[in-house]
A and B are shown apart, each in its own frame.
Chain A
Amino acid sequence: MKQGHFESANQAEWQEYRALLAYLDSAGKGKAGGGSADRTAASLDRFPRLFRRISSHYALARRRGYSPGLIAELHDLVRGGYAHLYRRRPRPLAAVLAFMARDFPGALRRHASLFWLASALFFLPMVAMGLLAYADGEILYSLMDEDQVAGLEAMYDPDNRKPGRARERQADTDFAMFGFYVFNNVGIGFRNFAGGLVFGLGSAFVLLFNGLHIGAAAGHLSRLDYGETFWPFVSGHGPFELTAIAISGAAGLLLGKALVAPGNRPRLSALRYNAADAVLLVGGAGLMLLFAAVIEAFWSSGPAPASVKYGVGAAGWILVVLYLALAGRGDPSKGS
């Protein structure tokens, strides 16, 4: 068949397909409207069939050696339709709830061993450093210089109006502190994850470093008898924040594992495979850190008595454990 005949025989279908494509392109941007749009929407049922027709036209045009211009034109038509037909549907906002209720804890349980490894890298140095700093007042200075120690002590001075906040932040509102905690803490979680790409070393370092620092601060402040401001302050958001840091570390270690021990896949596809789960973990950890920031800003430095704060902290730990261990279990739709 000559090109001219081919073109005139199929021109009608190409026109219809072009109109549908233009409609789909504009529908995404919310510009569609009017009666013609309704008519086009009704004929969208024909789009997949037309797409397959145009695909075969494109293949024929190449096979038969039609002109490069026509081939390029058909290629663009196919490519435009392909992007619409095979697009991953963006998840609506409600899916965030389903994600937190099912996907995130499920992904964490699939990688429980890495979570325990990350927790060990984080909590063991924390406890050890805490005990050391409590016993020995000098050891803190191996981690921080004098200014940092002074700043730390000032934050938890029992005379502060708002415990847990640096002197220059005493006047800031709770909301300002919320912004600060989100900016700082969620950022740490994300960097913790990204560091895992360096064979897991970055995540291991962030976990160790933060574990040592938090432990040293806790031990040092307890030694100074600032414990009565420090412990009630951290008890509220601690369960969520500390667990989330460990989880984002586990997400980083999951990336590192793909490079160090890819199993029976090539490293690149192991990385891609693990990254799909790792992003679930880091997304969940990010939301947990966001929740922790809400508590830290609006509750932790509040006026509630210490016993209530300890109670909230204990409830938080129970909630975190139950949530991560049980949420989304027995869900029939869960694959893999």
Chain B
Amino acid sequence: MSPIDTIRFNETPEGVDLGLRVAGPVPRALAFVVDLVVRGALYLVLIPLTAFAGVGLGLMLLGFFLLEWFYPVLFEVLKGATPGKFAMGLSVVHDDGTPVGWSASMIRNLLRAVDFLPILYGVGLVSCLVDRDFRRLGDLAAGTLVVHRERARGAAAIPDVPSRPLPPGLDLQTQQAILAFAERGPRLSAARRIELAEILTAEEGRRGAAAVDRVAGWASWLARGQG
């Protein structure tokens, strides 16, 4: 991966690399705003409790306490993300990619008090921008990452067209580009498809829809062979 990508790889015990797409400050800030609204609504729900003389005020204060300190912990551990993070497609994981547990979640959320200093996550933002994986201080201490959840992908299929032999001497990268073109082509506009295919068929001098067909034939050759 090129250095500007924010994908972080970690190797599983099975010896394969799993990619985690770490989330930067902007989606996290938006998630915070959504959480702020959700929490604000919960506070408003709690306030009428004071109407119940006796236990009401106590319950409200206990609710405030839980909301202040344990709202993120409970959601992160039980659901993987707070409602705000969920809305932004984020989730909190250990830095090895496993779902976050009680201990790490407690650390990162109790230390939020420091990241929030001096105002509105000043410290956390600086830490986020300095660290390669966008971790605030609480994440650094807890060993956690905020990552983008994998979106469900539609199954990519290579169109079944008669295969054409590849021109000789294409390296692996080019072959992968041909395969990627065949898989993702249907999602592009016709003009864009032609434009991309013409780059690949430039040496043969094919233009227009013929270029697209030719590249599809090559992809079919790569994926299925002659048959």
Contacts and interface: CB of A to CB of B under 8 A. Distances in A.
Contact of A4 (B15, B18, B224): B224
Nearest to B223: A3
Main secondary structure of the interface of A (DSSP, over half): helix
Interface string B85-114: 000000001101111011100110011111
A124 B163 CA distance: 85
Interface of B: 12-16, 18-19, 53-62, 64-65, 68-69, 77, 93-94, 96-99, 101-103, 106-107, 110-114, 137, 140-143, 150, 153, 155-158, 172, 175-176, 179-180, 182-184, 219, 222-225
A190 B113 contact: yes
Interface stretch (A33-41, A54-62, A327-335): A54-62
B97 A55 contact: no
A318 interface: no
A290 B56 CA distance: 19
A326 B153 CA distance: 56
A187 B69 contact: yes
Given A4-B224, A56-B14, A76-B150, 16 more contacts: A58-B16, A59-B16, A69-B180, A69-B184, A78-B14, A78-B16, A83-B97, A83-B99, A86-B13, A173-B53, A179-B57, A179-B58, A195-B113, A268-B140, A271-B141, A275-B107
A66 interface: yes
A73 B150 contact: no
Contact of B65 (A4, A91, A186): A186
A141 interface: no
Contact of A279 (B64, B99, B110): B110
Contact of B60 (A73, A177, A179): A179
A42 B155 CA distance: 28
A177 B58 contact: yes
A59 B17 CA distance: 8
B98 A272 contact: no
- What interface size band does chain A fall in? 35 or more
A283 B102 CA distance: 11
A125 to B, nearest CB: 23
23 contacts: A5-B225, A65-B172, A66-B179, A67-B156, A67-B158, A67-B219, A68-B176, A68-B180, A68-B183, A69-B155, A73-B155, A75-B19, A78-B12, A86-B13, A175-B59, A178-B62, A186-B65, A194-B111, A194-B112, A197-B141, A275-B142, A276-B107, A279-B103
Nearest to A72: B153
Nearest to A194: B113
B64 to A, nearest CB: 6
Given A2-B224, A76-B153, A51 B14 contact: yes
A173 B56 CA distance: 10
Given A58-B16, A68-B180, A172-B57, A179 B62 contact: yes
